[in-house]
Structure 1
Amino acid sequence: MTALPILTIILMVSMLLFIFKVIKREQEIVMRNSEQLYLTNLEQLLHSIRGQRHDHMNHIHVISNLISTEGYKEASSYLKDLRTDIDMNYSLLVLDQPSLIALLQTKREYALISGVELDIIIKNPLTNTPLKSYELVQVIGNIIDNAFEEEINSKKREKKVTITIDSLYNSTIVISVNNINSLIDQSLKKNILAEGYSLKENHQGIGLYTVVNILKKYNGFLEFESDKKSGTTFFAFIPN
C-alpha cells in the first residue's frame, strides 16, 4: 500500500473522529440545557408548594377568626372566593400527565409573581401522546419560557400568555402557546427553528431546536404565526 492511500485513510478517520466529537459536544449542550430546565421547574414547584402551604394556613386562621367573631356572612363570602381559586388550581388535574401538571402549576405561580396573565385551556387530557413525560415537559416548557420572556421584557402594560392543549381530527395533538407582545417576521421562519439561532443577544438559541428534534422523533413538527394584532403563537403538532 502506497503512502498516499494510507494518508487518505488517516485523514478520513481523523475527520470522522472530529465529527463524532462535535456531535457529542452538541448532545451534551442539549442535555445540560434540559437538565437546567428541570432544575428551574423543580425549584419553582418547591417554591409554589411552600407558598401554598403558607397560604392555606393563613386561610384557616382567617376563616377561624371570622367564625369565632360570628362573621358568618364574611366567612361565606371568603370561602366562595377561595373555592374559585381552588377550582382554577385543580382544573389541571384533567391532564393525564403528572409532570406536566407540575410544570403548568409552577408557571401559573410564576405568572402571578411576574405580573403576566396566564390562561390555560385544556381540551385534550393527553392520554394518547407518544412522547415520554420528560419530553413533553421539554417541548411545552421551552415554548412557554420563550413566551414568558417576551411578555416580561415587553414595555406594554397588558401582558398575557395563553396555553391551549387540543386535538385535530382526533388524530393529532395540538399544543399552542400564544403571547400577545411579540412579533416575528415570517422571513426568519427557517432561521428561528435552527440550532444556535436566537433573536436575543448572548442567547444560545437551543430551546426551540430541541423542541423541533423531539417532535421529529414522533413525526411531529413545530410551526408559528405572528402578527401585530394577536402576537406570536407557536404550535406543536404531535400525531397520536
Structure 2
Amino acid sequence: MRRNVWLLAIVLIAVLLGANNTVYYFTTKQSLEENLRHELQSIAKQIEISIELSRQGSEKFQEQIGRELRAVSIAAQYALDPDVEKVTKEQLTELSMKLDVLHITLLKRTIDNIVLYKSSDPKQIGFKTNTWDPWYQAFNELFDTHNVTIDWGQSLENFWTGPFEFAQTETSKIRKWGYYYDGSTNYIIDPYISYEDRQMEYDKQTGVGMIIAKTLLENSQLLEITGINPSTFPLGEQTTVTQRGDKLAHMTQQPIVYGSYLYKHADDQKLVQKAIQSNQSITVNTTINNKHVLKLYIPVSVDKSTSMLDENGEPINRYVLTLVADYKTIQNSLDKQFSNIALIMLVVTVLSLVIVYLIASSYRRAQDKLVRRTQETYVEEINGLFRAIREQRHDFMNHVQTIHALAELNKTDELKSYTSELTGEIRQLNDIINIGNPAIAALIRSKISQAESLKIKLETSFADMSNLALGIKSLDLTRVLGNLIDNAFDEVMNYPEERRLISIKGSQTNGYMEFEVSNTCDDAGKLDGKPLFESGYSMKGATHSGLGLSIVKSIVDKYKGSVRIVLNEPNKVTFIIRISD
C-alpha cells in the first residue's frame, strides 16, 4: 500500500511538472514570437529610414536637375529670337545638342489653349495642354505672373518643373520637363531630358529600388517590400487617354509607388487605410500564395512629395510601407529555441523525479528503520516484563524462607523493613501488569527502569486500558508513547536531579483514548508557535534528527486523532494525545 502511495505521488509530481513545463513552453513560444515581431518591426523601421533617405536623395537630385533645366532655358532664351514665329526647328535641334538635353519645345499661348508649337522633336508639335492638369495651371501662371504657386513640383524664379513622368507624346518613355518664361518672349521654353539619361543611373546606385533589392538579399526572411499610395490604392492603376488615343499611365499616381506587389492579401485595402488612420503599425499572421507569412503595414509620414500624388493630382504626405516575412524562417528559429527549451525541461523533469525518488526512498528507509527499532524495543520490553515476573516467581521461595527466618529470630523491625521493600516491588510490578495492555505495560516497565538509572522521578497513572476497541495497533501506540517519553527524558536531563520530573497518564473512556506526558521545561513559553511537528525540526541541536514528534503526529493523524500542547503551568509542558472511535 505504501509503495502505491509513493508511486501515486511520483506520478502526480510528474504530471504537475509536465503541466508546468507545457505552460512554460507555450508562454515562452508566445514571448519569442512577440520578440521576433518586434525584431521584424525594428528591421522594418531601418528599411523605412533607408528608403526615405533614398527617396529624399532622389528628389534632391531631381531638384538639381530642375536647376540645370532652368539654366538650359536661360541659355536657349539668349540664343533664340523672342518671337516664336522666327525660331526654326534646326535652331532648336542645334541648341538641344549643345546644351546636352534630349529636346527643346516651345509652348505658345492661343486664345483658348496653350499648345506645343515648335520643337526639335516633330512628335511634340501640335499637342494641346488644357487637359494636362495641373500642368496647364502651371503654364498659365507662368504666362500671367511668371511664378507658379502649385504646392508640388519645383518652383524657381520664372521657372517650374514637375517630376519624372510618362510622356504624352511617347507613352512608354519617362521624361522630366522644365518650363521657363520671364516675359521677354512670346513663348515658354521647355527643355527636357529622359529618365534613362540622367535619373536611372542614380537610382541604380542609390535609389529606392536598389535599397529594396539589397534589403531583400540581406534578410532571407523577407519576401517582399512594397510602397503603397493609400489614396490611389483602392482605385487601381491611374491612366488617361492621350490626344492620339494612346493609354497613358501616371507614374506619380500609381497605387504601388515602389517595390513589387505579389503577396496580395484580401484585406490589404482595409488594412492600409487602418494603418493610415491610426498611424500605427499593423501586423497580420496569415497565409498568402500558399505560404505562411507575417505581413506588416507601416504608415510613413513625409513632406509633400513631388513623386506621390493622389487621384486629383495633389501631393500626399503619407504612404504605407508593407513588408512580407516568411514565417517558416521565423518558425525554424522558434523550433530551434523550443528544442533547447524542451531538452532543458526534460532534463529538469527527470532530475526532479530522481531527486523526489531518492528523497522518498531515504525517508521510507528512515521510517522503516524507526519501525524496526520500535519493534525491537517492543519485543525487548515485553521480554523484560515477562523476565521480571519470572524472576519474582523464581525468588518467591527465597523471600518466604527469609521472612520465616526473620520471624523465628523475632527480628520484627527487620521483618517489617524486608516485607515493605518486597511488597513495594511487587506492587509496582502489579501496577504495571494491571495497565491491561501488554505493549503499554512493557513500555512503561522499560521506561521506569531507564528512569531509575538516570535518577528521573517517573510517575505513571493508567485506567481502563485493558480493552483497545479503537482499532489502534499496539505497535503504533508504543511508537507514540515511546517518542513522547524519550523527548521528556531528553528535556529533564538538562536539569538537576531534584527537578527531573515526568508524569505519564493514560485512560480510555466514552469512546476515546487519551494520554498525557508532562515534564519539566523552563523554556515552555518559547515553544508557542514553533513548528514542533514538522519533519526535521528540532530545538535540541544538530545531534537530533527532529523526527520524533513528526512520527507522533503522522501516527495520530492516521487514526484521525489529535495532538495538542498545554503550556498553562510554569516551567512545565504537557503533550495530550486523543484518539476517538
**TM-score bracket, shorter-length normalisation:** 0.7 to 0.9
Q: Which of 76, 80, 90 is equivalent to 2:430?
A: 90
Distance 1:183 1:44, change over 3 A: farther
Quote the offset at 1:49 in angstroms: 6.4
Code of the residue aligned with 2:574 in structure 1: it is T
Tell me whether 1:150 sits opposite 2:527 in the alignment: no
Counterpart for residue 16 of structure 1: 353
| Mapped partners of 1:182, 1:138: distance in 2 | 26
Q: Which of 464, 469, 474 is equivalent to 1:124?
A: 464
Distance 1:47 1:135, change over 3 A: closer
Greater alpha carbon shift after TM alignment, 109-118 vs 63-72: 63-72
Greater alpha carbon shift after TM alignment, 126-135 vs 198-207: 126-135
Greater alpha carbon shift after TM alignment, 100-109 vs 62-71: 62-71
| Mapped partners of 1:173, 1:238: distance in 2 | 5
Matched-pair contact (CA < 8 Å) for 1:44–1:110: no
**Match of 1:176, SS?**
strand
The gaps in structure 1 that reach 5 residues or longer are none
Matched-pair contact (CA < 8 Å) for 2:456–2:502: yes
| Mapped partners of 1:56, 1:221: distance in 2 | 41
Q: Which of 396, 400, 405 is equivalent to 1:68?
A: 405
**Match of 1:141, SS?**
helix
More strand per residue: 2
**Match of 1:79, SS?**
helix
| Mapped partners of 2:350, 2:360: distance in 1 | 15
| Mapped partners of 1:12, 1:54: distance in 2 | 62
Sequence identity (%): 22
Distance 1:45 1:149, change over 3 A: farther
Distance 1:180 1:187, change over 3 A: closer
Q: TM-score, normalised by structure 1?
A: 0.82
Quote the offset at 1:111 in angstroms: 1.6
Counterpart for residue 419 of structure 2: 79
| Mapped partners of 1:96, 1:162: distance in 2 | 19
Code of the residue aligned with 1:17 in structure 2: it is V
Quote the offset at 1:57 in angstroms: 6.1
1:51-107 deviation line (CA, Å, top 9, x unaligned): 776677667545424423514644465335422331221123344431221111111
Counterpart for residue 162 of structure 1: 503
1:116-171 deviation line (CA, Å, top 9, x unaligned): 11111112315223321111110000000111122223125232211111246x13
Quote the offset at 1:108 in angstroms: 1.4
**Match of 1:25, SS?**
helix
Greater alpha carbon shift after TM alignment, 43-52 vs 190-199: 43-52
Distance 1:173 1:184, change over 3 A: same
Distance 1:182 1:135, change over 3 A: farther
Q: Which of 109, 131, 136 is equivalent to 2:477?
A: 136
Greater alpha carbon shift after TM alignment, 139-148 vs 124-133: 124-133
Code of the residue aligned with 1:33 in structure 2: it is L
Q: Which of 220, 228, 231 is equivalent to 2:572?
A: 231
1:34-45 counterparts in 2 under 5 A? 34-40=371-377
Tell me whether 1:192 sits opposite 2:532 in the alignment: yes
Matched-pair contact (CA < 8 Å) for 1:41–1:106: no
Say how many residue pairs are matched.
239
| Mapped partners of 2:448, 2:558: distance in 1 | 29
**Match of 1:194, SS?**
coil
Code of the residue aligned with 1:64 in structure 2: it is Q
Code of the residue aligned with 1:229 in structure 2: it is P
| Mapped partners of 2:348, 2:401: distance in 1 | 79
| Mapped partners of 2:511, 2:526: distance in 1 | 28
Q: TM-score, normalised by structure 2?
A: 0.37
Code of the residue aligned with 1:175 in structure 2: it is F
**Match of 2:464, SS?**
coil
Counterpart for residue 99 of structure 1: 439
More helix per residue: 1
Matched-pair contact (CA < 8 Å) for 2:436–2:464: no
1:45-56 counterparts in 2 under 5 A? none
Quote the offset at 1:182 in angstroms: 4.3
**Match of 1:205, SS?**
coil
Code of the residue aligned with 1:236 in structure 2: it is I
Matched-pair contact (CA < 8 Å) for 1:195–1:205: yes
Code of the residue aligned with 2:515 in structure 1: it is I
Matched-pair contact (CA < 8 Å) for 1:96–1:127: no
Quote the offset at 1:177 in angstroms: 0.3
**Match of 2:515, SS?**
strand
Code of the residue aligned with 1:8 in structure 2: it is M
Counterpart for residue 552 of structure 2: 211
Greater alpha carbon shift after TM alignment, 157-166 vs 35-44: 35-44
Code of the residue aligned with 1:88 in structure 2: it is Q
